Chain A
Amino acid sequence: NAGVMQNPRHLVRRRGQEARLRCSPMKGHSHVYWYRQLPEEGLKFMVYLQKENIIDESGMPKERFSAEFPKEGPSILRIQQVVRGDSAAYFCASSPPANSGSYVQYFGPGTRLTVT
């Protein structure tokens, strides 16, 4: 029973390039969340998605960042024109449907983005 999968695990981009981070939720999970962890800090919520819907993007920067969770395939967090301040660990989490009564979010191993 595979857990939440994220790839790549490490990503290096030069300033101005685009970064694409992928997340496949656990089997049976229909909710996906993205969090960002800056060095020496806790995780900060970015966005919550269900299939083909963005439910809550209150933590997403207004520019350059976007997220999607298509009907087929993984969820994608896209960062355009990356800057050094985007260097962080990006974690994806998934949870089962709300009617399951379980509100636990299970996290992937994270993608460490380094912008040079």
Chain B
Amino acid sequence: AQKVTQAQTEISVVEKEDVTLDCVYETRDTTYYLFWYKQPPSGELVFLIRRNSFDEQNEISGRYSWNFQKSTSSFNFTITASQVVDSAVYFCALSGGDSGGYQKVTFGTGTKLQVIP
């Protein structure tokens, strides 16, 4: 069974502050993929990043960075110098691959981020 836990239900920050969204996962698969998606108020889901279980390198994309630590089963997401447009619900997700089951993605319950001007 797979599980993704996003313990932070809602976070509010003031514009230009840095914010980290936590994600902890559970899986028995040795091969798996981790994802982050953004859901702005308009409701669509926007893909942000995919990380496979063999690649623990941290990644930076503009103001976004991701910290993958296999030892603690965490895949945290940091937004630097937050902006109002970052206000959204952010979902962490996992798909496992040992049984060829990459396709079924398990989502966390999401963290609602509000950036206050």
Contact = CB atoms under 8 A, between A and B. Distances in A.
Interface in A85-116: 89, 91, 93, 95, 98, 103-110, 112
Contacts of B44: 107-110
Contacts of B102: 98, 103
Report the contact-size class of chain B (Cβ under 8 Å from the partner).
20 to 34
Interface string A34-72: 010000011111001000000110110000000000000
Main secondary structure of the interface of A (DSSP, over half): strand
Nearest to B37: A107
Contacts of B45: 43, 91, 93, 107, 110
Interface in B27-62: 33, 35, 37, 43-45, 47, 50
Contact of B50 (A89, A98, A103): A103
Interface size class of A (residues with CB under 8 A): 20 to 34
A45 B91 CA distance: 14
A33 B47 contact: no
Contact of B43 (A41, A98, A112): A112
Given A42-B91, A42-B110, A104-B50, A110 B43 contact: yes
Contacts of A33: 103, 105
Interface string B87-117: 0000100010100011111111110000000
Interface of B: 33, 35, 37, 43-45, 47, 50, 91, 95, 97, 101-110
29 contacts: A31-B103, A33-B103, A33-B105, A35-B105, A35-B107, A41-B110, A42-B91, A42-B107, A42-B108, A42-B109, A43-B45, A45-B106, A48-B103, A55-B103, A56-B103, A56-B104, A89-B43, A91-B45, A93-B45, A95-B103, A103-B33, A103-B97, A104-B35, A104-B47, A105-B47, A105-B105, A107-B45, A107-B47, A110-B45
